[in-house]
Amino acid sequence: MSTRYDAVIVGAGVAGSTCAILLAQAGWAVALVEKQAFPRRKVCGECIAASNLGLINALGIGEKFRALAGTPLRRVAWCAGDTMIEAPLPQLAGTQQPWGSALGREHLDTLLLERARELGATILQPCSVHSVDQFEDQHRCTTIDPAGNALVIEAGVLIDAHGSWQRGPFTDQDSSRPPCASDLFAFKANYSSAQLPEGVLPVLAFAGGYGGMVQGDHGLLTLACCIRRDRLHRWRKKHPGLAAGEAVQKLLEQEIRVVRETLRGAHREGAWLAVGPIRPRIRSARRAAGMFAVGNAAGEAHPILGEGISMAMQSAFLLCERLAGSSTTTDYATAWHRAFAPRIRLASLYAHIAMHPMANRAVLPLLRRWPGLLSIGARLGGKVRCVVDAGKLAGTITRE
Ligand SMILES: Cc1cc2nc3c(=O)[nH]c(=O)nc-3n(C[C@H](O)[C@H](O)[C@H](O)COP(=O)(O)OP(=O)(O)OC[C@H]3O[C@@H](n4cnc5c(N)ncnc54)[C@H](O)[C@@H]3O)c2cc1C
């Protein structure tokens, strides 16, 4: 196996595999390194905004995506206590796919990875990038497979797409902060036979957390949420003996009517998954000469917005069009900041409204009177905004 590539990509989530597809399409020799075996379930709400469907087509997985994904998401609802306020989700203009839909990450990430493989990317999986260093103009990555075998691979371009929830090999990482009450833990579970009205995307607001539910592939419901450490701790003390995920489900069912009704008679498929603490914030899109970050590694929005997949895919396009020389107007870091920093700030505002009972109480009368504010909120959050022109891009990324 070759040990020298044009680009090494660390992590085959949506961001990393999107980069691998685009660079392989442009004729680059690419190595994509992923520590987990696929398919794998992942903590995620799994909603894919309408703004990404063009990108998914451009990546060559559109047909397979449409065959698997859940029904179009046409309405959003704000759900707190016994209240549920609904409004239409904004539609993407000028397309046959005006609404987003949901697809399990075990499917989406596998489709993208297999597409990268098909285009000639070298896939090292399961294999973890253990350390990176620089030698002249080459980045050297030491990878380790599950049997403990080490392999050093080199490339002029190194792309950090390892997400933000696991410690990685990069120096510019979230330092290990001491635990604090406001730390957020993220949970996800899938259910069959759930009773969610078709095409609705409920956003769940409760003291100390927020979440969402969606009907995805194979009729499975995804329930995902974030909860503060202090709230989780107090709740689990009141309910000893319950595993964390089960305690979270009990809390959601007790506090939010729509969760109770949706899960009545539902059957959980697979285990609860959890990660955390998650630290939504702007990180850095360019690390050093020839070293870039995409997806959560570059910056992470509070998941209440359900825009992490969009930001991961779109940041990959922003980077690869520049690496392959088809866009030179602004550098990647500037373009990234312009495109995503406002979304990250807005998501933080929404998250705090949802988590703080007083803010939530203040917002409910406004939403009752003007439910259209929800549609505006979704539009501002990026649901129908794509920062790259997928149609133009598909054919223009070529080797410099
Ligand atoms: C509760 C919750 C709900 C969410 N809901 C939604 C939603 O509905 N819609 C949406 O768009 N977004 C949602 N998100 C956000 C979304 O999940 C993330 O933003 C998205 O997964 C980021 O993609 P990524 O490719 O940057 O990173 P990831 O998807 O995290 O992928 C990183 C990959 O890198 C691999 N990796 C890590 N370290 C190494 C290493 N050292 N070597 C090799 N490989 C490595 C990992 O195994 C992983 O496969 C949600 C997030 C949470 C927490």
Q: How far, in Å, CA of 115 to CA of 106, rounded?
A: 14
- Tell me the pLDDT tens digit for each residue of 85-117: 999 999 999 888 899 999 999 999 999 999 999
To the nearest 10°, report the CA torsion of 52, 57, 58, 60.
130
Taking the centre of ligand 1 as the mean of its atom positions, its distance from the CA of residue 164, in whole angstroms, is 7
Q: Please provide the DSSP assignment of 243-299 as one string.
A: -HHHHHHHHHHHH-HHHHHHHTT-EEEEEEEEEEEE--SB--SEEETTEEE-GGGTB
Would you say the CB of residue 215 lies under 6 angstroms from ligand 1?
Answer: no
Q: Residue 349, SS3? A: helix
Q: Residue 365, SS3? A: helix
Would you say the CB of residue 70 lies under 6 angstroms from ligand 1?
Answer: no
Taking the centre of ligand 1 as the mean of its atom positions, its distance from the CA of residue 179, in whole angstroms, is 22
Q: How far, in Å, CA of 25 to CA of 312, rounded?
A: 18
Q: Which residues have C-beta within 8 Å of that of residue 128, sequence separation ≥ 6? A: 33, 35, 143, 144, 145
Quick one: pLDDT at residue 398? Answer: 44
Would you say the CB of residue 50 lies under 6 angstroms from ligand 1?
Answer: no
Quick one: pLDDT at residue 95? Answer: 87
Would you say the CB of residue 382 lies under 6 angstroms from ligand 1?
Answer: no
For 106, the token pair is 């075990």
Taking the centre of ligand 1 as the mean of its atom positions, its distance from the CA of residue 294, in whole angstroms, is 11
Would you say the CB of residue 296 lies under 6 angstroms from ligand 1?
Answer: yes
Q: Which amino acid is at 296?
A: N
Q: Which of 179-183, 228-232, 266-270 has the lowest mean pLDDT?
A: 179-183
pLDDT confidence tier of residue 135, bands split at 50, 70 and 90: confident
Q: Which of 169-173, 190-194, 216-220 has the lowest mean pLDDT?
A: 169-173
Q: How far, in Å, CA of 310 to CA of 273, rounded?
A: 22
- How much is the mean pLDDT over the chain? 93
Homologous superfamily (CATH) of 4-174+280-396 is FAD/NAD(P)-binding domain (3.50.50.60)
Share of the chain above pLDDT 70, in %: 94
User: Mean pLDDT over residues 317-342, rounded?
Assistant: 89
Q: Which of 48-52, 80-84, 134-138, 201-205 has the lowest mean pLDDT?
A: 134-138
Would you say the CB of residue 161 lies under 6 angstroms from ligand 1?
Answer: yes
Quick one: pLDDT at residue 399? Answer: 42
- State the residue for tokens 């927020």: 210
Quick one: pLDDT at residue 175? Answer: 59
How many C-alpha atoms does 209 have within 13 Å on its Cβ side? 28
Would you say the CB of residue 367 lies under 6 angstroms from ligand 1?
Answer: no
Taking the centre of ligand 1 as the mean of its atom positions, its distance from the CA of residue 13, in whole angstroms, is 6
Quick one: pLDDT at residue 173? Answer: 55
CA 290 to chain centre: 24
pLDDT confidence tier of residue 330, bands split at 50, 70 and 90: confident
Taking the centre of ligand 1 as the mean of its atom positions, its distance from the CA of residue 296, in whole angstroms, is 7
- Smallest CA-to-CA distance from 356 within 208, 224, 225 is with 208
Quick one: pLDDT at residue 392? Answer: 64
Quick one: pLDDT at residue 400? Answer: 36
Taking the centre of ligand 1 as the mean of its atom positions, its distance from the CA of residue 222, in whole angstroms, is 16
